[in-house]
Amino acid sequence: MLSLLHWILAGSTSIPGPGELWSLSPSGSWARLQPGGTRPSPRGFSKMILDPIRHRIVVYGGADSTGWRGDVWALDLAGAGTWSQLAAIDTPTDSGSAAVYDPADDRMIVLRLVQRGSEAVFDVWALSFANLTWSHQQPMGTPPVARPGAVYVYDPPRHRILMLASDAGYALRLSPEPTWTNLQTVIPTGAMGPYVYDPVADRLIGGPTGALWQMTLTDPPVWQQLHPTGVRDTYREALVFDTDLGRLVSLSSSLPNWIVTFGSPVSAPSVSPPVEAALAQSVPNPATNDATIRFALPVSGRVEMTLFDLAGRRVRRLVDATLPAGSHSVIWDRRDDAGARVPPGVYAYALHTGTRRLVRRMVVVQ
């Protein structure tokens, strides 16, 4: 089910406004939900992320009739939904911009705007969902100047947030140390619009109404306009990538919604073999069923890959073999060594080559 919070919290610029919650089934049927609990005050410019582990939408800040807010709310998506306020500690007051969910560290990253002289730059905060405590991040590098209408997308395999505009492109790498870097790319003329991450083809995909573009996540990125067959959408407000069915859903609050389905992924420029072992983020992430884990070896040798829970207990041995150099992949069917289906949560998977040990995290949801 795709949940769309078509309310003033969804980012409307009118203050205040009405509130509605709708769900969209995979077959394309809309149903209005009536959540219980006490909901936030009507407001605009709020930041919303999906917390897949707890099956809820988390809403931060925004502006209401009293000004900018710093409160945090959760909409439990079980049944018709229930609103509740989260007692977050050391919450900063919102001041615009964007937020993303970081599944690797189970937290919400917020990019606030602060004035530096005549320019607005980014102030980065993180809300840990483990203890509901905010922490002020101090990224290395020079923070970019905020651009009106910029696009923000989370890139899971590379653990970074991308900011793209018509005159600049930047990445905020979240590990091992938060760092701003210049992407050396801009959104091409005629390609500005909403974008989402496509975990099937490992790319950004989106663009303006009636057009479709992709940006490869190579270094440097490569832009390409795509030309799907069929009738084009007539008005696009948001995009959602349906990882279960491998399709792009174009959403509009007032006109028909459209779906773009893909055959094989669009080819991307080839990349050289790694000079050292590499472990990619599992796809899809979060995962509801099977998850694919890709890895690469610079030389042939003995390889082990093991899945653990966060307590360090082994859940599943995924690989234990001698493999040749090159790219490889393994599919995890969400079962443990005994064949039982594992519960939702955060898991770690480790690749051991004898000389290197690489670890990543993945999220499993219902």
Render each residue's pLDDT in the chain as its tens digit; 366 residues: 344 443 333 333 344 445 677 787 777 777 888 899 998 988 888 899 999 889 899 999 988 888 889 999 999 988 888 999 999 888 888 887 789 999 888 999 999 888 777 788 889 999 999 999 999 999 999 888 888 788 999 998 889 999 998 888 899 999 889 999 998 888 888 888 899 998 888 899 999 888 899 999 887 888 999 888 886 766 777 888 887 777 888 887 666 678 888 764 444 344 444 567 888 888 888 888 888 888 888 888 899 999 999 888 999 999 998 888 877 888 999 999 999 999 998 999 999 988 888 888 899 987
Last residue within a domain, chosen from 216, 243, 271: 271
Is residue 158 located within the same domain as residue 55? yes
The pLDDT tens digits of the residues spanning 185-212 come to 888 888 888 999 988 888 999 998 888 9
User: Does the predicted TM-score (pTM) go above 0.85?
Assistant: no
Classify strands 212-216 and 223-226 as parallel, antiparallel or unpaired: antiparallel
Is residue 294 located within the same domain as residue 348? yes
Please answer whether residues 155 and 161 qualify as being in contact, where contact means their C-beta atoms are separated by less than 8 angstroms.
Answer: yes
Three-state DSSP class for 10?
Answer: helix
Please tell me what DSSP assigns to residue 16.
S
End-to-end CA distance of the chain: 11
The type of residue at 333 is D
Is residue 156 located within the same domain as residue 60? yes
The pLDDT tens digits of the residues spanning 124-171 come to 999 999 999 999 999 999 888 888 788 999 998 889 999 998 888 899
Segments in the chain forming alpha helices (H): none
Last residue within a domain, chosen from 271, 287, 312: 271
Is residue 230 located within the same domain as residue 344? no
Is residue 98 located within the same domain as residue 177? yes
Q: Which of 172, 174, 53 is nearest to 106 (CA)?
A: 53
Please answer whether residues 217 and 271 qualify as being in contact, where contact means their C-beta atoms are separated by less than 8 angstroms.
Answer: no
- For residue 307, what is the domain's CATH number? 2.60.40.4070
Cα atoms in the Cβ-side hemisphere of radius 13 Å centred on 264: 2
What pLDDT is stored for residue 265 in this prediction?
A: 45
What pLDDT is stored for residue 297 in this prediction?
A: 85
3-state SS of 31-87 is EEECCECCCCCCCECCEEEEECCCCEEEEECCEECCEECCCEEEEECCCCCEEEEEC
Is residue 159 located within the same domain as residue 43? yes
The type of residue at 60 is Y
What pLDDT is stored for residue 78 in this prediction?
A: 84
Please tell me what DSSP assigns to residue 254.
S
Please answer whether residues 88 and 133 qualify as being in contact, where contact means their C-beta atoms are separated by less than 8 angstroms.
Answer: yes
Split into its structural domains, the chain has a count of 3
What pLDDT is stored for residue 71 in this prediction?
A: 93
Is residue 253 located within the same domain as residue 310? no
In angstroms, rounded to a whole number, what is the distance separating the alpha carbons of residues 345 and 335?
13
In angstroms, rounded to a whole number, what is the distance separating the alpha carbons of residues 302 and 322?
4
Is residue 33 located within the same domain as residue 122? yes
Please report where in the chains the tokens 């279960």 appear, as a residue.
244
Burial label, 318 (beta-carbon count in 10 A; 0-12, 13-18, 19+) = middle
- For residue 134, what is the domain's CATH number? 2.120.10.80
C-alpha 180 chain-centroid distance: 18
The C-alpha angle with vertex 328 and arms to 322 and 330, in degrees rounded to 5, equals 90
Is residue 165 located within the same domain as residue 57? yes
What pLDDT is stored for residue 280 in this prediction?
A: 83
Please tell me what DSSP assigns to residue 9.
G
Is residue 24 located within the same domain as residue 79? yes
Is residue 24 located within the same domain as residue 150? yes
Last residue within a domain, chosen from 189, 223, 250: 189
Is residue 50 located within the same domain as residue 66? yes
By residue range, what is the domain housing residue 306? 278-364
Q: Which of 55, 3, 128, 75 is nearest to 345 (CA)?
A: 55
Q: Which of 148, 115, 11, 133 is nearest to 72 (CA)?
A: 133
The type of residue at 71 is D
In angstroms, rounded to a whole number, what is the distance separating the alpha carbons of residues 54 and 345?
9
